[in-house]
Amino acid sequence: MSQAPRTYITTPIYYANGEPHIGHAYTTLLADTLARYQRQAGADVLFLTGTDEHGQKIQEAAEKRGLSPIELCDEMAARFRNAWKRLDIGHDRFMRTTEADHLAVVGAFLTRLDARGHVYADTYRGWYCVHEERFWTEKDLAVGGLCPTCDRPLREIEEKNYFFRMSHFQGDLVRHIEEHPDWIVPETRRNEVLGFLQKPLSDLSISRPRARVSWGIPLPFDSNQTTYVWVDALINYLTASGAIDPNAAADDQGFDDVAGSRWPADLHIIGKDIVTTHAVYWPTLLMGVGLPLPKRILAHGWWTVGRDKMSKSLGNTVDPLELREEFGTDALRWYLLREMPTGSDASYTPERFLARYDELANVLGNLASRVTSMIVRYREGQVPDGDPGGLDGAIVGTLERFHAAMTALRVHEGLDSAMDLARTVNGYVETSEPWALAKTPSRGGELDAALATLTRALVVISALFFPVMPGKMTELAAGLGLNEVPPLQAAARIVPAGLRVRKVPPLFPKPEAVDT
């Protein structure tokens, strides 16, 4: 028996010091939608998300609240888990970087990096941004000596650090990117990385003195130093893959055969803010320990609120759970994924949200209610044995467009093609006029064909929209007399005749009547 294809999809692990907002929700929903799409196709998916719990930022946030770091992390990890549960996110593992297996894997990874001669100690002088958890050199600084990314004041630091010989891998990395044009998508981000790599790459500081940053994983070869939080965080992708045995003896580096693990990841989904860490630090670290690189990196765009950056200090962060309360989980999922062209930026406005909601209600919700109520009215709820092929061309064309878009990671285009099919099917209702056919007994055969065609189209629609709106599409499939939404590959082949249909109530009711 051939094995199901395996796919490993990750999101960033979010800092455990902020509330989940629509930016985090978007990344995680994008991963969930792609994971569901792959599962529908029969793949054995590992979908990883989690929280990034070490480092100075967490240490200081906990101090401010009078908590120990782990108390803060416990609270925030629970907050993220709860948000993802409410948004119907079906991750397979929620990684916390304070978990025992991760601590062991980071130790094994760094032991191996050191054993292969890629680590050395030196004095570090530079400017540190606690918010971004990264160093800047003098030439990087923004006007007034501020952080060039977040405009916050920096701290001047001089201390002993261990360094990874990242510079040694610059040529190999450039070659890899040039030989794999799809490794980083979209192309703008790929060009940005190649541009960055035109300058000589410096080595990477991978540790902090414990006296300054105590909340971190001790280095296996110097317990007075803690691992730089970005190195710790990136390794989470390996921990979940099973490529490194956390229970191996300390002197053995614990590297299992990668072939038996989920490594390499098929897709790292990230925001455009963390491209350098994922497309430069991470692959060179992997080259350092001799492990294969992730197969693909998708760096999506940025959500703004109106024209403003979303930030806690501006007090304009959009809470996904509030939107969910008002419009329901699936409407929020639809809005975020349909509104943002995958890879580009998008702006949240309540008006655009409502426009996307109306599209759902008027095109998709309306179609489901209309078709099911006609089958109930004209054929007592049983789909007649007519020719269901009336929309064959539209269905085949849509499936092609949908698969092509999803494979190219252009999720918004996939969703657009699904909505286009719903529009075409509404058009078919208008032109076939089942209500007119029902008045003329001699046209019963035509009515049977129209109703069978419409049912088949709705079954396909339920499968197309399922990855983005699993709850509503399960409701639709139940209304069509199916136990579950069929896999997309099988949906167009389901025989509609004989299905017991009941009238589907409005899937997207007026907001005040929404039941989440």
Binding residues (CB under 6 A) for ligand ME8: these are: 12-15, 23-24, 26-27, 52, 233-234, 236, 270-271, 273-274, 302-303, 310
Alpha carbon 1 to its chain centroid, in Å, reads 31
Question: Closest approach of Cβ 312 to ligand ME8, in Å?
Answer: 11
Question: Closest approach of Cβ 386 to ligand ME8, in Å?
Answer: 47
- Comparison of 166 and 361: residue with beta carbon closer to ligand ME8: 166
- Comparison of 23 and 254: residue with beta carbon closer to ligand ME8: 23
For tokens 């105590």, what's the residue?
214
- Number of neighbouring beta carbons within 10 Å of residue 182: 12
- Comparison of 12 and 384: residue with beta carbon closer to ligand ME8: 12
Q: Measuring CA to CA, how many Å separate 220 from each of 106, 210, 319, 405?
A: 9, 13, 40, 45
- Comparison of 205 and 432: residue with beta carbon closer to ligand ME8: 205
> Which of 24, 397, 482, 46 lies closest to 240 in space, CA to CA?
46
- Comparison of 243 and 463: residue with beta carbon closer to ligand ME8: 243
Whether 45 contacts 99, CB under 8 Å: no
Question: Closest approach of Cβ 237 to ligand ME8, in Å?
Answer: 7
- Amino acid present at 250: A
- Number of neighbouring beta carbons within 10 Å of residue 396: 12
Q: Mind spelling out the 3-state secondary structure of 102-168?
A: HHHHHHHHHHHHHHCCCEEEEEEEEEEECCCCEEECHHHCEHHHECCCCCCECEEEEEEEEEECHHH
Question: Closest approach of Cβ 302 to ligand ME8, in Å?
Answer: 4
Question: Closest approach of Cβ 270 to ligand ME8, in Å?
Answer: 5
Question: Closest approach of Cβ 272 to ligand ME8, in Å?
Answer: 7
Listed in sequence order, the residues at least 6 apart from 276 whose beta carbon sits closer than 8 Å to its beta carbon are: 193, 196
- Comparison of 236 and 241: residue with beta carbon closer to ligand ME8: 236
Give the Cα separation of 449 and 383 in Å (integer): 10
Residue 6, phi then psi, degrees to nearest 5 = -110, 140
Whether 270 contacts 297, CB under 8 Å: yes
> Which of 416, 417, 452, 415 lies closest to 432 in space, CA to CA?
452
- Comparison of 284 and 455: residue with beta carbon closer to ligand ME8: 284
- Comparison of 304 and 516: residue with beta carbon closer to ligand ME8: 304
For tokens 């949200």, what's the residue?
353
Two tokens at 224?
């007075």
498: left (phi over 0), alpha (psi -120 to 50) or beta: left
Question: Closest approach of Cβ 316 to ligand ME8, in Å?
Answer: 11
- Comparison of 29 and 504: residue with beta carbon closer to ligand ME8: 29
Give the Cα separation of 342 and 300 in Å (integer): 6
- Comparison of 229 and 364: residue with beta carbon closer to ligand ME8: 229
Whether 386 contacts 450, CB under 8 Å: yes
Give the Cα separation of 176 and 387 in Å (integer): 53
Whether 217 contacts 206, CB under 8 Å: no
Question: Closest approach of Cβ 7 to ligand ME8, in Å?
Answer: 19
Question: Closest approach of Cβ 148 to ligand ME8, in Å?
Answer: 16
Name the residue with the smallest CB distance to ligand ME8. 23
Eight-state DSSP code of residue 254:
-
Question: Closest approach of Cβ 47 to ligand ME8, in Å?
Answer: 15
